[in-house]
Structure 1
Amino acid sequence: MALHISATNPEHPVLLLELPWHLPLEEWPDKYLVPLPRGISRHVVRYARAGDEVIAVKELAERPALREYELLRDLDRLGIPAVDALGVVTGRTDEAGEPLEPVLITRHLGGSMPYRSMFETTMRPATMHRLMDALAVLLVRLHLAGFAWGDCSLSNTLFRRDAGAYAAYLVDAETGELHARLSDGQRDYDLDLARVNISGELLDLEASGALHPSVDAVEFGAEICARYRDLWRELTRTSVYPAGKYHYIERRIRRLNDLGFDVAEMQIEHASNGDTVTFVPKVVDAGHHQRQLLRLTGLDAEENQARRLLNDLESWMATQDDYDPDDPLSARPEVLAHRWVREVFRPTVRAVPRELRGTMDPAEIYHELLEHRWYLSERAQHDIGLDTAVQDYIAHVLPKARETLQLVREE
């Protein structure tokens, strides 16, 4: 049987021909390999260089190799975080003509790490929680797309930090199945497998001394199930908000924030009976909102202030007719962000008399006004708007705050 290379890119077969396919993967010379950390796998896996690409090469039988190749391509089309499938090599033989196992080739995910490499030095529990949240987000996104993983584990996941965000990527789709829609039973089965696998992997780390002593491996495995269910419930709950009641949308964003997630994308669909909102969550590192707000608007704020301002900016952008996140020709976020500063942020802050602001900086004032609008809108059960919130804030909140500050100074 002749060597056959199936690839997604026409240029790849030429580059891949330079690799020693006549040798078992375990015997490849170092000159072909790239020394990157590898996770635990039931198959032989090596990183190699093909032209300018770093690729992951995995030996497995032909049928599962072709099946996984197609599944990874399906996940790519669905926009799911997973490694890119580049090709499958079949018809391999050694120099004596004996058959060798086919290989699946994927693109190495730059900047990613298998979980064991991340635990080489004892990881803090707070960082572990963020990694587990990232894995919960990945599992939810897979299930929303109709993909049953069949073997969710830390070993089958790569983690990457990107501009402060923690992201988890599927790296092994061998046991996966793609359906139009998953039943509750299929989701529960996947989730139970994740709980058992993750607890087992953490117990293994504990035995090697790499797990923080305060972490209970079994409880951590159960925690990802709880995080998944909370996130699934919040994301899949159908909500149609009456026109003008945008504080309902804000309430839902706050619930996601309380769960420890931030809104990476928000889509508002206008309909005759109200506005339907969908969210895409992400897990972020400390300081992420400060950096993002500074990049988009030039505003420098504290982390909680920045998160609140970014939520308001995101909500405002979603209502603009010239903004479509799926249309590359629509107004860019940076352009809209500066328009928001010019048309919303600055006029709102300037509406508060300078003599009443005291030592508060503009970001703090705007944050306070948003909080006040939220409080008034909740009480009125409709969005009262910023103008009304500003007037009420000036009339009722600032005078009391100044009186309290004066009493403190006198004491």
Structure 2
Amino acid sequence: MSGSLNITAAVVDPALLDLPWDLPLETWPDDTIAALPKGISRHLVRFVHLSGYVIAVKETTDELARREYDLLRTLQRLEVPCVEPVAVISGRTDDNGAPLAPVLVTRHLKFSLPYRALFSQALRPDTATRLVDALAVLLARLHIIGFFWGDVSLSNTLFRRDAGSFAAYLVDAETGKLYAGGLSNGQRENDLEIARVNIAGELMDLAAGGRVEEDLDPVEVSERIVAQYRTLWKELTGWESFPNKERWRINERVTRLNELGFDIEELAIKTDEEGTEVRIQPKVVDAGHHQRRLLRLTGIDAQENQARRLLNDLDSYSATFTRRQLDEEAMAHEWLAQVFEPVVRAIPRELKGRLEPPEVFHQLLEHRWFMSQDQARDIPLAEALGSYIDDILRHRRDEATVINPPTSAITLPVLLEEEADDADDWRSKV
């Protein structure tokens, strides 16, 4: 290692010092590189093995690296879904003393993939719309905290499966800026227009390469993020008026937001002088309503839709449990020990990396439901589990870290078989 490295990190992994920082990133030896699929980036990015996990190393300028590192740390503190910043490394030189580009190091997000890896042979319209819906939720969450992204796109996002949907994570914050006073409507609309144009272009690029199904309209899909975002933003922040006698609609608004996965910390409530009309507006909204409840009751860290599905099963279990004197926490402990954990332990070791445990449990419940429909009887969970492992899970690729494909996004081969979204496809698998 030549030169004097400058490392900025909250917690330094000593193994960072063993990486070949005296070499240009493009020439790093194969034994350090993790062959993971990656999206398109304006900078050179390589995935690297480090201390039993994988990091992403991006060559950039010192100013941009430090700025993005600080932004990602702030977003993490605000509990926004994003990649974890590890370090900024500057002061790199080669063996001849020539300077090398500084790098930003982030931790690879397990069970996540770029959008180009989330289809098999051709991107289906329903998959594309689910990706866009997830991105709309992420964009709304960012705007709520006053974050202007500046380069909203599918390429700058990672996706994790979330009980039939996707959860979106911000990857590239290089163009972003956090405003303490919040965003203006113009700033939000600017981000939204950037998203619409970028998504249309990305899908057109796939279409030109024959990577989408014929009935997928890139422009129509890209317009969806505008509609989805505006509907969500209105629900999260808009004023609602109703007669004073219909005050039950306050709870209804809160319930709707909870169902969308958001919690309200404060409501602004106004009445007119005659006391005949009430206006309400949520003031502070936090995402992760079901995630927090599931984590509090069981310790399971899941995506929002996964958490909602697991909580539904927990509630069903509680409703049929005979010892009704148990409180919610005790019942959750019982469900965890008797239902969820036995399912996780039953997954063969060689299949553990196929999907996250909450996603496995969600798919198992789906599988059991369709088995019950086909056979017109209640299917015990244990019976459905054996069928699911043999007929579904065993035929999936690992998603903890999808390895072996080349890292070129353009030549990425088939990585995954997209799970079916409708009953007929699930039935064919059963």
From 273, 280, 286, the equivalent of 2:287 is 280
From 244, 261, 266, the equivalent of 1:264 is 261
**Any conservation in 2 of the 1:264–1:281 contact (CA below 8 Å)?**
yes
User: Number of matched residues?
Assistant: 305
Separation in 2 of the partners of 1:139 and 1:112?
A: 18
Q: Kindly state the Cα deviation for residue 127 of structure 1 after the two structures are TM-superposed.
A: 2.4
Separation in 1 of the partners of 2:71 and 2:146?
A: 12
SS class of match (1:298): helix
Match of 2:217 in 1: 216
Match of 2:8 in 1: 6
Q: Matches of residues 129-148 of structure 1 in structure 2 within 5 Å?
A: 129-148=129-148
**Any conservation in 2 of the 1:265–1:280 contact (CA below 8 Å)?**
yes
From 249, 252, 266, the equivalent of 1:250 is 252
Separation in 2 of the partners of 1:268 and 1:135?
A: 24
Separation in 2 of the partners of 1:142 and 1:227?
A: 15
**Any conservation in 1 of the 2:158–2:169 contact (CA below 8 Å)?**
yes
Residues 279, 161 of structure 1: alpha-carbon distance in 2 compared, 3 angstrom cutoff? same
Taking only aligned residues, the RMSD between alpha carbons, in angstroms, comes to 3.6
Q: Matches of residues 163-182 of structure 1 in structure 2 within 5 Å?
A: 163-180=163-180, 181-182=182-183
From 310, 314, 317, the equivalent of 1:295 is 314
Separation in 2 of the partners of 1:36 and 1:81?
A: 20
**Any conservation in 2 of the 1:89–1:104 contact (CA below 8 Å)?**
yes
- Structure-1-length-normalised TM-score: 0.66
- Note the residue ranges of structure 1 that are not aligned, 5 or more in a row: 302-321, 324-330, 339-360, 362-411
SS class of match (1:17): helix
Q: Per-residue CA shift, 1:80-131, capped at 9, x if unaligned?
A: 1110111001000111111100000001000000011113422332222221
Separation in 2 of the partners of 1:37 and 1:220?
A: 24
Q: Kindly state the Cα deviation for residue 219 of structure 1 after the two structures are TM-superposed.
A: 1.7
**Any conservation in 1 of the 2:165–2:305 contact (CA below 8 Å)?**
no
Match of 1:201 in 2: 202
Segment of structure 1 superposing worse, 155-164 or 142-151: 155-164
- Note the residue ranges of structure 2 that are not aligned, 5 or more in a row: 271-277, 291-302, 321-326, 337-377, 379-430
**Any conservation in 2 of the 1:87–1:106 contact (CA below 8 Å)?**
yes
Residues 140, 196 of structure 1: alpha-carbon distance in 2 compared, 3 angstrom cutoff? same
Segment of structure 1 superposing worse, 86-95 or 239-248: 239-248
Separation in 2 of the partners of 1:183 and 1:336?
A: 48
Residues 300, 121 of structure 1: alpha-carbon distance in 2 compared, 3 angstrom cutoff? farther
Match of 2:15 in 1: 15
Which letter maps to 1:94? D
**Any conservation in 2 of the 1:134–1:166 contact (CA below 8 Å)?**
yes
Q: Matches of residues 47-86 of structure 1 in structure 2 within 5 Å?
A: 47-86=47-86
Residues 74, 227 of structure 1: alpha-carbon distance in 2 compared, 3 angstrom cutoff? same
Which letter maps to 2:287? V
- Structure-2-length-normalised TM-score: 0.63
Separation in 1 of the partners of 2:38 and 2:260?
A: 31
Residues 268, 178 of structure 1: alpha-carbon distance in 2 compared, 3 angstrom cutoff? closer
- Paired-residue identity, %: 48
Q: Matches of residues 42-121 of structure 1 in structure 2 within 5 Å?
A: 42-121=42-121
Q: Matches of residues 361-380 of structure 1 in structure 2 within 5 Å?
A: none
Residues 134, 333 of structure 1: alpha-carbon distance in 2 compared, 3 angstrom cutoff? farther
Residues 271, 185 of structure 1: alpha-carbon distance in 2 compared, 3 angstrom cutoff? closer
Separation in 2 of the partners of 1:270 and 1:144?
A: 15
Q: Kindly state the Cα deviation for residue 268 of structure 1 after the two structures are TM-superposed.
A: 6.3
Segment of structure 1 superposing worse, 267-276 or 158-167: 267-276
**Any conservation in 2 of the 1:67–1:174 contact (CA below 8 Å)?**
yes
Which letter maps to 2:8? S
Separation in 2 of the partners of 1:164 and 1:190?
A: 27
Q: Kindly state the Cα deviation for residue 7 of structure 1 after the two structures are TM-superposed.
A: 1.1
**Any conservation in 2 of the 1:25–1:59 contact (CA below 8 Å)?**
yes
Separation in 1 of the partners of 2:268 and 2:140?
A: 26
